[in-house]
Amino acid sequence: MQYSFNEPSLLMINMSFVINFYKVCIILLVLCITSNVFGNCSQGDIDSIQNKLNNSKTISTSFIEKDKSGQIYIKKPGMMRIDYETPEKISIIIKDEVVTYYDYQLDELTKIKQDPKFLTFLTKDNIDFKRDFNTFKCDKNNEIILFELSLLGEENEKINLQMYFSQYILNKVNIKSDKKSETTLVFINLKHNENIDSNKFIFKDKSFFNIE
Protein backbone atom coordinates (compact mmCIF):
# COMPACT_ATOMS: atom_id res chain seq x y z
CA MET A 1 0.00 0.00 0.00
CA GLN A 2 1.33 3.43 -0.96
CA TYR A 3 0.61 6.81 0.65
CA SER A 4 0.89 10.14 -1.02
CA PHE A 5 2.01 13.25 0.92
CA ASN A 6 1.49 15.74 -1.85
CA GLU A 7 -1.68 17.13 -0.20
CA PRO A 8 -1.49 18.72 3.28
CA SER A 9 -2.98 16.60 6.02
CA LEU A 10 -6.07 17.66 7.95
CA LEU A 11 -3.94 17.92 11.10
CA MET A 12 -1.54 20.37 9.44
CA ILE A 13 -4.47 22.50 8.20
CA ASN A 14 -5.98 22.60 11.68
CA MET A 15 -2.66 23.53 13.33
CA SER A 16 -2.12 26.34 10.81
CA PHE A 17 -5.60 27.69 11.58
CA VAL A 18 -4.99 27.56 15.33
CA ILE A 19 -1.63 29.35 15.06
CA ASN A 20 -3.09 32.12 12.89
CA PHE A 21 -6.05 32.46 15.24
CA TYR A 22 -3.74 32.95 18.23
CA LYS A 23 -1.67 35.50 16.31
CA VAL A 24 -4.80 37.55 15.62
CA CYS A 25 -5.84 37.35 19.29
CA ILE A 26 -2.41 38.53 20.46
CA ILE A 27 -2.43 41.47 18.02
CA LEU A 28 -5.91 42.54 19.19
CA LEU A 29 -4.86 42.22 22.84
CA VAL A 30 -1.77 44.40 22.27
CA LEU A 31 -3.85 47.03 20.48
CA CYS A 32 -6.34 47.15 23.36
CA ILE A 33 -3.59 47.46 25.95
CA THR A 34 -1.64 50.20 24.15
CA SER A 35 -4.73 52.25 23.37
CA ASN A 36 -6.33 52.18 26.84
CA VAL A 37 -3.54 51.85 29.39
CA PHE A 38 -0.75 54.26 30.38
CA GLY A 39 1.61 52.41 32.72
CA ASN A 40 -0.92 50.79 35.04
CA CYS A 41 -3.52 53.52 34.43
CA SER A 42 -6.61 52.99 32.36
CA GLN A 43 -8.03 55.67 30.12
CA GLY A 44 -10.96 55.63 32.53
CA ASP A 45 -8.66 56.71 35.40
CA ILE A 46 -7.29 59.59 33.33
CA ASP A 47 -10.76 60.69 32.17
CA SER A 48 -12.11 60.57 35.74
CA ILE A 49 -9.35 62.89 37.00
CA GLN A 50 -9.69 65.30 34.07
CA ASN A 51 -13.48 65.37 34.42
CA LYS A 52 -13.26 66.09 38.15
CA LEU A 53 -10.89 69.00 37.55
CA ASN A 54 -12.84 70.32 34.57
CA ASN A 55 -16.13 70.16 36.47
CA SER A 56 -14.64 72.16 39.35
CA LYS A 57 -15.25 75.89 39.01
CA THR A 58 -13.29 76.50 42.22
CA ILE A 59 -10.60 74.60 44.13
CA SER A 60 -9.36 75.41 47.62
CA THR A 61 -6.87 73.62 49.85
CA SER A 62 -4.41 74.00 52.69
CA PHE A 63 -0.84 73.05 51.84
CA ILE A 64 2.54 72.29 53.40
CA GLU A 65 5.80 73.08 51.57
CA LYS A 66 8.78 71.99 53.69
CA ASP A 67 8.79 74.48 56.60
CA LYS A 68 6.05 76.64 55.02
CA SER A 69 2.28 76.36 55.11
CA GLY A 70 -0.66 78.22 53.70
CA GLN A 71 -3.76 78.19 51.53
CA ILE A 72 -4.38 77.97 47.78
CA TYR A 73 -7.53 79.29 46.08
CA ILE A 74 -8.42 78.74 42.42
CA LYS A 75 -11.35 80.23 40.55
CA LYS A 76 -11.90 79.54 36.88
CA PRO A 77 -11.08 80.86 34.47
CA GLY A 78 -7.58 82.13 35.14
CA MET A 79 -7.47 83.14 38.82
CA MET A 80 -5.24 81.74 41.55
CA ARG A 81 -4.21 82.99 44.98
CA ILE A 82 -1.52 81.50 47.23
CA ASP A 83 -1.35 82.70 50.84
CA TYR A 84 1.80 81.75 52.76
CA GLU A 85 0.94 81.95 56.45
CA THR A 86 4.25 80.71 57.92
CA PRO A 87 7.06 81.50 58.41
CA GLU A 88 6.35 84.89 56.78
CA LYS A 89 2.98 86.10 55.59
CA ILE A 90 3.08 86.58 51.82
CA SER A 91 0.27 86.48 49.26
CA ILE A 92 0.65 85.70 45.56
CA ILE A 93 -2.13 86.42 43.10
CA ILE A 94 -1.97 85.10 39.54
CA LYS A 95 -4.45 86.71 37.15
CA ASP A 96 -4.42 87.50 33.43
CA GLU A 97 -0.80 86.30 33.10
CA VAL A 98 0.26 88.72 35.84
CA VAL A 99 1.92 87.49 39.04
CA THR A 100 1.70 89.87 42.01
CA TYR A 101 3.48 89.34 45.32
CA TYR A 102 2.43 91.15 48.49
CA ASP A 103 4.68 91.12 51.57
CA TYR A 104 2.52 91.98 54.58
CA GLN A 105 5.44 92.80 56.85
CA LEU A 106 6.98 95.26 54.40
CA ASP A 107 3.62 96.35 52.96
CA GLU A 108 5.23 95.97 49.55
CA LEU A 109 3.78 94.92 46.20
CA THR A 110 5.85 93.38 43.43
CA LYS A 111 4.45 92.64 40.01
CA ILE A 112 5.79 90.68 37.06
CA LYS A 113 4.12 89.80 33.77
CA GLN A 114 4.50 86.12 33.04
CA ASP A 115 2.46 82.95 32.81
CA PRO A 116 3.67 80.23 35.21
CA LYS A 117 2.00 77.42 33.27
CA PHE A 118 3.08 74.79 35.76
CA LEU A 119 0.55 76.34 38.16
CA THR A 120 -2.04 78.13 36.05
CA PHE A 121 -3.04 75.12 33.96
CA LEU A 122 -5.28 74.20 36.92
CA THR A 123 -7.23 77.43 36.32
CA LYS A 124 -8.21 76.45 32.77
CA ASP A 125 -11.83 75.62 31.97
CA ASN A 126 -10.80 72.61 29.91
CA ILE A 127 -7.72 70.70 31.07
CA ASP A 128 -6.29 68.08 28.74
CA PHE A 129 -3.04 66.66 30.12
CA LYS A 130 -1.91 65.11 26.84
CA ARG A 131 -2.57 68.34 24.95
CA ASP A 132 -1.35 70.85 27.54
CA PHE A 133 2.02 69.24 28.29
CA ASN A 134 5.02 68.19 26.22
CA THR A 135 5.12 64.75 27.81
CA PHE A 136 2.55 62.77 29.79
CA LYS A 137 2.88 59.48 31.66
CA CYS A 138 0.50 57.83 34.10
CA ASP A 139 1.14 55.06 36.62
CA LYS A 140 -1.00 53.47 39.31
CA ASN A 141 0.03 51.77 42.54
CA ASN A 142 -2.89 50.49 44.60
CA GLU A 143 -5.15 53.55 45.03
CA ILE A 144 -2.48 56.15 44.19
CA ILE A 145 -2.37 57.48 40.62
CA LEU A 146 0.76 59.34 39.52
CA PHE A 147 0.83 61.75 36.58
CA GLU A 148 4.31 62.65 35.32
CA LEU A 149 4.29 65.72 33.08
CA SER A 150 6.75 68.14 31.55
CA LEU A 151 6.61 71.47 29.76
CA LEU A 152 8.82 74.36 28.74
CA GLY A 153 8.62 77.49 30.88
CA GLU A 154 10.21 80.89 30.48
CA GLU A 155 13.47 80.90 28.45
CA ASN A 156 12.97 77.23 27.54
CA GLU A 157 13.28 76.15 31.14
CA LYS A 158 12.19 72.50 31.37
CA ILE A 159 9.72 71.92 34.20
CA ASN A 160 8.77 68.44 35.40
CA LEU A 161 5.63 67.85 37.43
CA GLN A 162 4.62 64.82 39.46
CA MET A 163 0.97 64.92 40.51
CA TYR A 164 -0.31 62.36 43.01
CA PHE A 165 -4.04 61.55 43.17
CA SER A 166 -5.89 59.44 45.73
CA GLN A 167 -9.44 58.48 44.79
CA TYR A 168 -9.09 61.02 41.96
CA ILE A 169 -8.34 63.83 44.45
CA LEU A 170 -5.05 65.71 44.03
CA ASN A 171 -3.02 65.41 47.26
CA LYS A 172 0.60 66.15 46.32
CA VAL A 173 2.56 67.96 43.61
CA ASN A 174 6.31 67.72 43.09
CA ILE A 175 7.88 70.44 40.89
CA LYS A 176 11.39 70.10 39.44
CA SER A 177 13.10 72.39 36.95
CA ASP A 178 16.48 72.94 35.33
CA LYS A 179 17.05 76.27 37.07
CA LYS A 180 15.29 76.02 40.44
CA SER A 181 15.40 73.70 43.41
CA GLU A 182 12.83 70.93 43.77
CA THR A 183 9.58 71.84 45.50
CA THR A 184 6.92 69.56 46.98
CA LEU A 185 3.45 70.73 47.96
CA VAL A 186 1.30 68.44 50.11
CA PHE A 187 -2.40 69.31 49.97
CA ILE A 188 -4.70 68.92 52.98
CA ASN A 189 -8.50 68.86 52.77
CA LEU A 190 -8.74 69.85 49.13
CA LYS A 191 -12.27 71.00 48.23
CA HIS A 192 -14.05 71.44 44.90
CA ASN A 193 -16.80 73.90 43.95
CA GLU A 194 -16.95 75.87 47.19
CA ASN A 195 -17.97 79.51 46.93
CA ILE A 196 -14.93 81.82 46.56
CA ASP A 197 -15.47 85.56 46.22
CA SER A 198 -13.75 87.11 43.18
CA ASN A 199 -12.53 89.95 45.43
CA LYS A 200 -10.10 87.45 46.95
CA PHE A 201 -8.08 87.78 43.74
CA ILE A 202 -7.71 91.57 44.01
CA PHE A 203 -5.28 93.34 46.33
CA LYS A 204 -6.23 96.56 48.14
CA ASP A 205 -5.15 98.67 45.13
CA LYS A 206 -7.22 97.41 42.18
CA SER A 207 -5.43 99.71 39.73
CA PHE A 208 -2.27 97.75 40.42
CA PHE A 209 -3.41 95.22 37.84
CA ASN A 210 -3.62 97.75 35.02
CA ILE A 211 -0.67 97.05 32.75
CA GLU A 212 0.31 99.59 30.14
Contact assessment for residue 186 and residue 175, using Cβ atoms and an 8 Å cutoff:
no
**According to the CATH classification, is domain 41-199 in 3.40.50.12280?**
no
Q: Where are the domains of the chain?
A: 9-37, 41-199
Around Cβ 94, how many Cβ atoms within 10 Å?
A: 21
Main-chain phi, psi angles of 172, to 5 degrees: -160, 140
Render pLDDT for 44-57 as a digit per residue (tens, 0 to 9). Answer: 999 999 999 999 99
Count Cα atoms within 13 angstroms, Cβ side, for 164. 14
Q: For the chain, give the mean pLDDT.
A: 82
Q: What is the pTM of this model?
A: 0.77
pLDDT digits (tens, 9 = 90+) for 74-83: 999 999 999 9
Q: What span, in angstroms and rounded, lies between the C-alpha atoms of 121 and 111?
A: 20
